[in-house]
Amino acid sequence: MDKFMEAAIAQAEKSYNEGGIPIGSVLMRNGEIIAQGHNKRVQEANPILHGEMDCLLNAGRIGSYKDTVIYSTLMPCYMCAGTIVQFNIKKVVVGESRTFTGARKFMESHGVEVVDLNLQKCVDMMTRFIDEKPTLWNEDIGEL
Q: How much is the pLDDT for 110?
A: 98
Task: Report the CATH number that the domain containing residue 43 is assigned in CATH.
Answer: 3.40.140.10
* pTM summary value: 0.96
Q: In this structure, what DSSP letter does residue 14 have?
A: H
High-pLDDT (> 70) share of the chain, %: 100
68-72 vs 24-29, strand pairing mode: antiparallel
**Active-site positions?**
52
Query: Which residues form the domain of 127?
Result: 3-141
The predicted-structure confidence for 69-113, as pLDDT tens digits, reads as follows: 999 999 999 999 999 999 999 999 999 999 999 999 999 999 999
Specify the number of domains making up the chain.
1
Mean pLDDT for the chain overall: 96
